[in-house]
Structure 1
């Protein structure tokens, strides 16, 4: 981490905030014990995420707390957390609950499709925008309302994974992912997510990639081509 980046925050360090230490630990454990399904690529990604988290912990990363922010979809958060307590992801759910009042829920797009503003939001946990400030990895949460369709999009140069913490989703109509499942999206892979009609879905995510891309990644939905 460069000195300008480090000097831009006050001297609040990770080890001063046990709840955030435990949260990162639970992310690490999830990426350690959830199955890779026999995939070498997914196993390598899981290892890369764990190694990045270890570097964040060893550096005693700085923290920055901005004002918490909510979006309409966060009305579903209590239900999503309650459902997650019943799943194998419960340790990560409990760690999230301890910091939920500090989360900054946002959209991440300059222009969000009509209707999605009530059905989706994400909160960064660890990354260039904090609260745990680092350029090693981006960790966060994404919350979907029931019956949400998250439009097709891709990430340039970024390896992305989702851990389903509660609810159920499908990606590109190619299987159903329930709590305890992992979805892996390599760079440039276009993916579209649909959500169960009856329950919200809460997913943890991790992004691994070059530092400059993590710092400047812009999320853009793929536009449908109009027929002539």
Structure 2
């Protein structure tokens, strides 16, 4: 639950710095020659730039933790050793203000202990935005995040610490980006030894962004 308050990004510099680090992520991470990924990165940067330029509104947010956040300190410590350490440090600066959620009415058995996300920008804040959703997702070691897709949403993950695989096609380590076009079915698996911390961005029409139903899809064997 969030409630608008009389504060902006200039009033709370740590949130402004975090958005600046997200802008850096989408400005300098390589697109691997993909025009689609390059276009997505540009749209994310432009949305963040507009938030910063208009001195976006901040909302109060009730702090919430989940069982998986017991792994957060390790994930942050590992991330400080990696190539995206500035982002991890900026995230750690607002750590005590994050509200970790599941996003699902029914969480699959076992996932409740190994997964949660915290929205950073969007309708649910803390940074209010109607055109982009930014956040972080935390996975415990050995987690399998079941197959799912996002209607009308272009999604990207940036690995901050740990290592994950999507659809068993490639391994993503700190500094790498996963790109999921709208309606793309994807399943994530996590390495056995370390947690994984990923930044994410969603871009899409306002209706798609804010009417998403978080559901998993049963994959036929």
What is the TM-score when the length of structure 1 is the normalising length? Answer: 0.94
Q: Which residue of 1 aligns with 2:52?
A: 57
- How much has 1:14 moved relative to structure 2? 1.4
Partner SS, residue 29 of structure 1: helix
Residues in 2 aligned to 1:89 and 1:170: alpha-carbon distance in whole angstroms: 19
What is the TM-score when the length of structure 2 is the normalising length? Answer: 0.97
1:84 paired residue among 60, 72, 79: 79
Partner SS, residue 220 of structure 1: coil
2:63 paired residue among 61, 65, 68: 68
Residues in 2 aligned to 1:30 and 1:10: alpha-carbon distance in whole angstroms: 28
- How much has 1:224 moved relative to structure 2? 4.0
Q: Does 1:35 align with 2:17?
A: no
1:182 paired residue among 177, 196, 211: 177
Partner SS, residue 61 of structure 2: coil
- Gaps of at least 5 residues in structure 2 are none
Asked if 1 retains the 8 angstrom alpha-carbon contact of 2:149 and 2:182, the reply is yes
1:122 paired residue among 103, 117, 120: 117
Q: Which residue of 1 aligns with 2:194?
A: 199
C-alpha root-mean-square deviation of aligned residues, in Å?
1.1
- Superposed CA offset, 1:107-150 (max 9, x none): 00111100000000000000010000110200000000000000
- Gaps of at least 5 residues in structure 1 are 1-7
Partner SS, residue 57 of structure 2: coil
Residues in 1 aligned to 2:46 and 2:213: alpha-carbon distance in whole angstroms: 25
2:15 paired residue among 13, 20, 45: 20
Residues in 2 aligned to 1:67 and 1:9: alpha-carbon distance in whole angstroms: 12
- Superposed CA offset, 1:169-225 (max 9, x none): 000000000000000000000000000000000000000000121121111100245
- Pairs aligned (count): 219
